[in-house]
Amino acid sequence: MPSSDAAVAERSVVASTTPVINDFSIQVATVNGSGSQTANLVLLRSIFQMGVPVSGKNMFPSNIAGLPTWFTIRANKHGYVARKTEIDFLVAMNPETAREDVLNLKRGAAVVYDEPLKLDALRDDLVFYPVPFDTLVGQVSRDVKLRRRVRNMIYDGVLSQLLGVQLEQMEVALRRQFGSKPKVVSINREALDVGFAFAEQHLEKRDPYGIEPMDENGGRILVDGNAAAAIGCLMAGVTVVTWYPITPSSSLCETLIGYLRKYRVDKETGKATFAVVQAEDEIAALGMAIGSGWAGARSMTATSGPGVSLMGEFAGLGYYAEVPAVIFDVQRVGPSTGLPTRTAQGDVLSTAFLSHGDSRHPLLFPCSPEECYSMAINAFDLAERFQTPVFVMSDLDLGMNTWMSPTFEYPTKPIDRGKVLDQETLDRIGRFGRYRDVDGDGIPYRSIPGTDMPAYFCRGSGHNEWGQYSERADDYEKNVDRLTRKFETARNWMPAPVVEINRKARIGIIAYGTTHWAIIESRDQLAAEADLQTSYYRLRAYPFRSALASFIERHDRVYVVEQNRDAQMSTLMRLELRAELAGRLRSVLHYAGMPIDARSITENVLIQEGYRVEHSEADGPLPHNAGVGGE
């Protein structure tokens, strides 16, 4: 037993004697580039396999190696998967942040740490478990490189023993990770065993936390939102993918490319039914997507805020020339030298009106991988139905973190290619006018180049309904009014909100995207702790449905909860709502770069509702020494 251990035992306070089962969070603090991701995912997956609801969030710097990274796993028997700010169990592997990581913990938390860091001297109200990682990894291998790689797996072994995460499940998870490499599996397994054995022999369990098998995860998968969106694109029948790398969206296209190569190469000819181009920048990426959308492809690109800003001019062209394209915006915080690897919902307003005069774009807001999948499919149909760029507004938390999800449903509807001119239609309408509103819904017919349908000359807004060049005031006005009509038609084609009306509730909550998960938990907290009943409107798209106004009408006050500073969605709503309804809106805003948590919302709402709240650490602990760099 390490010599310091006895002293620790004396000074430490045993937090609680009542066990806390399947309801706590683990944080692993490491250095990026140290291979901790594998160990973290194995831990996450093992808990998942034990049937316990779990979520994992990676907080990483904009850097390839050497800067601090925190991975948080939350196991929760009630199924809450939002970020929880309090850490119950810390694994301190990073000397640089260890001190602060420990000082930030709440009383009674447990700490597994690299023994030489001597963290036990910092506080006497925590449970400390020193582990001599270097000595232990020496038992696994002599090879320096290998040692580095499996060192982190040792804490999985320690945690397995301390928390009751079954070793067999860890091995299953390992196999999933390294499937085809038995040697890698076996050396990692050894590291697990060494960690487990050490804990068994030298560590006396003094914290209350534990994992016990449940039966909650039948039929569920573990997936990140970007992979889910990629599967959606695959199933949507995407044919052209043009992109420019940017965190946190890159993995969407990279995963998609993998699937396309596997599932969309013609068996007989060996040729691809898709084209992928890594463009020179986001301007070109959207230009290519619009060019191919115009020529009849199902085209897409994926990016994040900085890329969206570059796409502005083309987005406006797409709107006015009426060309379909799907754009995934995996939102992150601000500029490239800012917090490029942190999450936000900060592109709502700028994307809704992206580009020059009177442009407006449909936006979809997935909250889960399942919706990344289904909305991806929907986005292609909507883009073609409405002949316009459609944005899918994901975020870093959704796109890059690992989520539990039900398996995805195979599409029930055939692909909708919208109003593409064919001979039958041409016979019916007589003469083709590219921008003619034949059906009264604002949506014109389009012909595809290279087919035998009549051609037209495509340009921005300077055209009459026949597609002829015109700068006449009446032609322009007529055209933009038709575009408005088209947008109105789109309202009822957008994904409907998910509304939960509580008849006793005087107040309502509106949220969208990943904020949803914290809302579920916060509503329970509000009900349980303050007997405050709430109704909930989960917004899933812009343009809004008329149900939005009716929802607000039903309630005295409505809290719009979002992850940006400027209440962007609320602002967008105010543009459409009657003044009287707009006056009922309040905002709960969260913009720290970390995924929103329930406690912050609960406290914020209670304060605004006039309750006295003892402020918790709802917004902390935020590691403020996280490295920042250019992306």
Q: Which residues bind other proteins (CB under 8 A)?
A: 220-223, 227, 231, 234-240, 242, 259, 263-264, 266, 269-277, 279-281, 283-299, 313-314, 317, 321, 407-408, 410-411, 414-415, 447-452, 455-460, 469
Residues 400 and 458: their CA atoms lie apart, in Å, by 38
Would you say 45 or 540 has its CB closer to other proteins?
Answer: 45
Q: Which two tokens stand for residue 16?
A: 């609680």
CB of 337 to other proteins, least distance (A): 22
Residues 150 and 193: their CA atoms lie apart, in Å, by 12
CB of 52 to other proteins, least distance (A): 16
CB of 222 to other proteins, least distance (A): 6
Q: Kindly report the backbone phi and psi dihedral angles of residue 89, in degrees, each rounded to the nearest multiple of 5, phi listed first.
A: -140, 115
Report the Cα 87 to chain-centroid distance in Å.
Answer: 21
Would you say 266 or 614 has its CB closer to other proteins?
Answer: 266
* CB within 8 Å of 432: residues ≥ 6 apart: 421, 426, 445, 447, 453, 454, 456
Would you say 185 or 277 has its CB closer to other proteins?
Answer: 277
For 611, the 3-state DSSP assignment is coil
Instruction: Tell me 597's DSSP state.
Output: B
Would you say 195 or 312 has its CB closer to other proteins?
Answer: 312
Report the DSSP beta bridge partners of residue 275: 240
CB of 84 to other proteins, least distance (A): 25
Q: Which two tokens stand for residue 474?
A: 């009446």
The residue with tokens 């809704």 is 352
Would you say 79 or 237 has its CB closer to other proteins?
Answer: 237
CB of 304 to other proteins, least distance (A): 19
What's the chain's Rg over C-alpha atoms?
Answer: 27
Report the DSSP beta bridge partners of residue 404: 222
* CB within 8 Å of 467: residues ≥ 6 apart: 433, 434, 435, 456, 457, 458
Q: Kindly report the backbone phi and psi dihedral angles of residue 87, in degrees, each rounded to the nearest multiple of 5, phi listed first.
A: -100, 130
Would you say 103 or 455 has its CB closer to other proteins?
Answer: 455
For 195, the 3-state DSSP assignment is helix
Would you say 28 or 227 has its CB closer to other proteins?
Answer: 227
Q: Are 223 and 376 in contact (CB under 8 A)?
A: no
Would you say 242 or 522 has its CB closer to other proteins?
Answer: 242
Would you say 409 or 439 has its CB closer to other proteins?
Answer: 409
Residues 478 and 341: their CA atoms lie apart, in Å, by 44
CB of 238 to other proteins, least distance (A): 8
Would you say 314 or 551 has its CB closer to other proteins?
Answer: 314
CB of 316 to other proteins, least distance (A): 8
CB of 246 to other proteins, least distance (A): 17
Instruction: Tell me 179's DSSP state.
Output: T
Would you say 113 or 380 has its CB closer to other proteins?
Answer: 380
CB of 467 to other proteins, least distance (A): 10
CB of 168 to other proteins, least distance (A): 17
CB of 469 to other proteins, least distance (A): 7
Identify which of 438, 472, 430 has the alpha carbon closest to the alpha carbon of residue 454: 430
Using alpha carbons, list the distances in angstroms from residue 159 to 28, 163, 210, 531: 11, 5, 10, 38
Using alpha carbons, list the distances in angstroms from residue 602 to 213, 264, 501, 522, 610: 30, 47, 19, 5, 12
Residues 165 and 169: their CA atoms lie apart, in Å, by 8
494 — alpha (psi -120 to 50), left (phi > 0) or beta?
Answer: beta
CB of 289 to other proteins, least distance (A): 6
Would you say 234 or 526 has its CB closer to other proteins?
Answer: 234
| Spatial strand order in the sheet of 498-500 | 498-500, 534-539, 507-512, 557-562, 585-589
Residues 382 and 362: their CA atoms lie apart, in Å, by 9
